[in-house]
């Protein structure tokens, strides 16, 4: 909806870092609170890990807890950056009109059809990227929820 320039669609929701942070926070909270005892056992006492990684300094639990924190952060940054990148590219193409127009008026008129065509192409590409990124965010969140609630083998 953020690609539509008129109201009500003109707001680019996932291009705002606060919105993607809220989505990632929900993913973190749901994963954390829905995790069963097997999930937490694998966090703090991972099976198949050598004893020397568990005893003197609990290296593996520290890495697993950092992994719990970085997964939602990566989701947040990936969604925000991919949505924002398309808008920045469109602004770059539009600014070419004014840059060339500032040099000479005829150059601005000559570059404008090319810049507008490139912007329209990038808008279609940005729509595809937005759909893929929303799917990836949902898929990875569901994967994290599934890993947290998986039963013991």
The pLDDT, as a whole number, for residue 2 is: 63
pLDDT at 115 over 70: yes
The pLDDT, as a whole number, for residue 75 is: 93
Domain borders along the chain are 17-148
Q: Over range 2-21, report the average pLDDT.
A: 73
Q: Over range 2-19, report the average pLDDT.
A: 70
Q: Over range 113-126, report the average pLDDT.
A: 91
Confidence of residue 7 (pLDDT cuts 50, 70, 90): low
For residue 124 the two structure tokens come to 């279609």
Percent of the chain's residues with pLDDT above 90: 42
pLDDT at 5 over 60: no
Lowest mean pLDDT segment, chosen from 43-47, 71-75, 120-124: 43-47
The model's pTM: 0.80
Give the mean pLDDT of the chain.
86
């Amino acid at each position: 909806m953020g690609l539509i320039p008129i109201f009500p669609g003109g707001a680019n929701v996932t291009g705002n870092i606060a919105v993607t942070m809220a989505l990632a926070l929900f993913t973190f909270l749901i994963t954390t609170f829905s995790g069963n005892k097997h999930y937490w056992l694998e966090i703090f006492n991972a099976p198949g890990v050598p004893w020397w990684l568990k005893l003197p300094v609990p290296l593996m639990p520290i890495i697993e807890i950092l992994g719990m924190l970085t997964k939602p952060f990566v989701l947040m940054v990936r969604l925000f950056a991919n949505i924002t990148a398309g808008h920045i590219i469109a602004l770059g193409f539009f600014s070419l009109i004014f840059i060339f127009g500032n040099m000479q008026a005829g150059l601005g008129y000559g570059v404008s059809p090319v810049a507008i065509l490139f912007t329209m192409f990038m808008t279609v590409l940005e729509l595809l990227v937005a759909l893929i990124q929303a799917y990836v965010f949902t898929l990875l969140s569901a994967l994290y929820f599934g890993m947290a609630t998986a039963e013991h083998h």
